[in-house]
Amino acid sequence: METATIAPPIKSEEYFINMGPQHPATHGVLRLLLTLDGEIIKKVEPDLGYIHRSIEKMCERNSYQQIIHLTDRLDYLSSHINNEAVCLAVEAALGVEVPERVKVVRTILDELIRISSHCLWWGVMGMDLGALTSYFYAFRDREMINDIFEETCGARLTMNYNVPGGLMHDIHPNFVARTREFLAHFKTKLPEYDRLLTDNVIFQKRTKGVGVLSRQDAIAFGASGPVGRASGYSCDVRVHHPYSALPKVTFKEALRTEGDSFARYQVRIQEMWESVAIIEQLIDAIPEGPHQVATDAVIKLPKGEFYQKVETARGELGVFIISTGTKNPYRLKFRSPGFSNLSLLNHIAVGGKIGDLVATMATLDLVIPDIDR
Amino acid sequence: MSYFTEIYHGVKTLLTGMRVTGRYFITSGKSAITQQYPDNRASLKMFDRFRGEVVMLHDENNEHSCTGCQKCELACPNGSIEIIWDRGVDPETGKKKKFIDKHIYHLGMCTQCGLCVQACPSNAIVWAQKFRKTRSTTEPS
């Protein structure tokens, strides 16, 4: 009788897998090089550059009015806030004080686009974790905001509504009525978001304790926006360095201390409530006045360096302009929130499963054109 | 939490979510929130400020008000507008004057930023709301 051969012990080896550049969960052309042991993640290496458009270099060639429309294409979900960042930097450099009406309208539009961005994030996050319904509900509400933007600014996504010294046009006569209608609608829908997704047991099990980021690490990696605030790091530019009409309004900074995916989710849901509160404080009393102050046709900034930061839906966006006194900037640098938030992905995803990586990436809310520029 | 309590809570939260979707299933009826785009093409009206494409207005005598000042060409960030001009003699005053030969608008390079329309001093170019740039072969042009 033949003796049974003893099977050699199973050897486990690490292996690579590409997640992206065309993966639905990366929301764009981001390639992640995963080193895996079975299904456990050992290392995550983001590979960037698939949609690099050299926007910073193009800014050096363009005049200050022309730069603004390029910033639409950075983080296209908060394009109005990006436009405002450049406008505020140029206005501060020129020493131009914009009218009160401009400040109020800018802040209202900022918060509207923040809600719109978070709506999209909420829908897509549900979809990433296997709940397709949330996607349609979020887009239903987002559609109303897009209509407001289309009527007032002329475009739904890349609106290019800010110009140095004010706004391109005055607001549309229907703007106030439409915004009030949206707020009334949205306040009844936000509790529905909670009932549908936040309380869901499957959703909670997939997000609680996943991708935990401590406060020290959040500061060390330069995390900003909801990612930083979910770890207890108070980093809201709107609170610490208020701009436009923000000094006039009162709102609470959304803060959590858990630092996991669920905390980041809760921060964004709370931010939608806070944005609604900010708009409600401003919408009833938009001051009368001009929508623009006249600037020179050819804007020349004085020689020097200028920095302005604003809070986009993803975090802190900084615009750094070096001017040599000509009509083009010598150098223009964007500090984009997505880049810093992506840098901590390896830190928080290691040790988890691939399914957890999807949940972690969804709550980081990455917009790839913002990272690549 | 005990095993059965956990099951009870799980089922309860799932049913809460199902109630939201179920209510829409029953109450929404046929009032869809989406637009049935190709079917409503005849009745679809875009907003007045919608930036579709740049057009030069012509009056009933087929004349436009463009003076060939090239401000739109300078304002354009991508070189979408190209103006070919020539010098001629003004028939009224007899002085030399700049005349526009051609105003070329490259739609393919345009990013719809709106700076050219803002820059135009004589309101010669405006935004048209046309957003559909293609045509089916079965449609008349």
DSSP A241-271: S--TTGGG---PPP--SS-SHHHHHHHHHHH
pLDDT for A276 equals: 92
Distance of CA A184 to the CA centre of its chain: 24
**A73 falls within a domain:** yes
The C-alpha atoms of residue B24 and residue A38 are separated, in whole angstroms, by 42
Chain B: nearest CA to A62, how far in angstroms?
7
**Choice between B30 and A217, residue whose per-residue pLDDT is larger:** A217
Cα distance between residue A309 and residue A85, in whole Å: 6
Using a CB-CB distance cutoff of 8 angstroms, which residues of chain B are in contact with residue A57? Answer: none
In this predicted structure, the answer to whether residue A268 has a pLDDT above a threshold of 70 is: yes
Nearest CA in chain A to B7: A201
Domain membership flag for residue A133: yes
Split into its structural domains, chain A has a count of: 1
Look at residue A115 in the predicted model and tell me its pLDDT. 92
Judged against a pLDDT cut of 80, whether residue B28 lies above it is answered with no
Which of B16, B49, B118 lies nearest to residue A195, judging by beta carbons? B16
Inter-chain touch A151–B114, beta carbons under 8 Å: no
Q: Chain A contact for B75, CB < 8 A?
A: yes
CA–CA separation, A146 and A77 (whole Å)? 11
User: Residue A1: what pLDDT?
Assistant: 53
Domain that holds residue A292: 54-372
Give the type of residue at A12. S
What is chain B's alpha carbon radius of gyration, rounded to the nearest angstrom?
A: 28
Would you call B118 an interface residue with chain A, using a CB distance cutoff of 8 Å? yes
- Cβ atoms of A111 and A279 within 8 Å: the answer is yes
Given a contact cutoff of 8 angstroms between Cβ atoms, the answer to whether A347 and A360 are in contact is: no
Q: Determine what percent of chain B is predicted with pLDDT higher than 90.
A: 0
Q: What is the DSSP letter of A105?
A: H
Query: What's chain A's average pLDDT?
Result: 87
Question: Over 80: is that where the pLDDT of A229 sits?
Answer: yes
Could A201 and B9 be called an inter-chain contact, meaning their C-beta atoms sit closer than 8 Å? yes
Query: Using CB atoms, which residue from B17, B47, B111 is nearest to A69?
Result: B111
CATH number at residue A96: 1.10.645.10
According to the model, what pLDDT value does residue B33 have?
A: 67
Note whether B20 contacts A: Cβ–Cβ < 8 A: yes
The answer on pLDDT for A40 being more than 80 is yes
Q: Is B44 on the interface with A (CB under 8 A)?
A: no
Strands (E), A258-351: 304-311, 316-323, 331-335
CATH topology (fold) of B47-128: Alpha-Beta Plaits (3.30.70)
The pLDDT, as a whole number, for residue A184 is: 92
B122 touches chain A (CB under 8 A): no
Selecting from A143, A169, A200 the residue whose C-beta is nearest the C-beta of B13 gives A200
Dist CA A99 CA A287 (whole Å): 9
* Residue A113 confidence class, pLDDT cut points 50, 70, 90: very high
Using pLDDT thresholds of 50, 70 and 90, give the confidence band for residue A26.
low
Stronger pLDDT, B127 or A27, i.e. the higher one: B127
Give me chain B's average pLDDT, please. 82
In chain B, pLDDT over 70 holds for what percent of residues? Answer: 92
pLDDT in tens, A357-370: 888 888 888 888 88
How do beta strands A15-19 and A31-37 pair? Answer: antiparallel
Give the contacts of B16 (CB within 8 A, at least 6 positions apart): A195, A199
- Strongest mean pLDDT among A8-12, A45-49, B135-139: A45-49
Cβ(A137)–Cβ(A143) under 8 Å? no
In a domain, A346, yes or no: yes
Q: How confident is the model at residue A204 (pLDDT cuts 50, 70, 90)?
A: confident
**Nearest Cα to Cα of residue A269 among A186, A146, A359, A338:** A186
pLDDT of residue A267: 92
> How confident is residue B141, by pLDDT bands cut at 50, 70 and 90?
low
How confident is the model over A274-300, as a mean pLDDT? 87
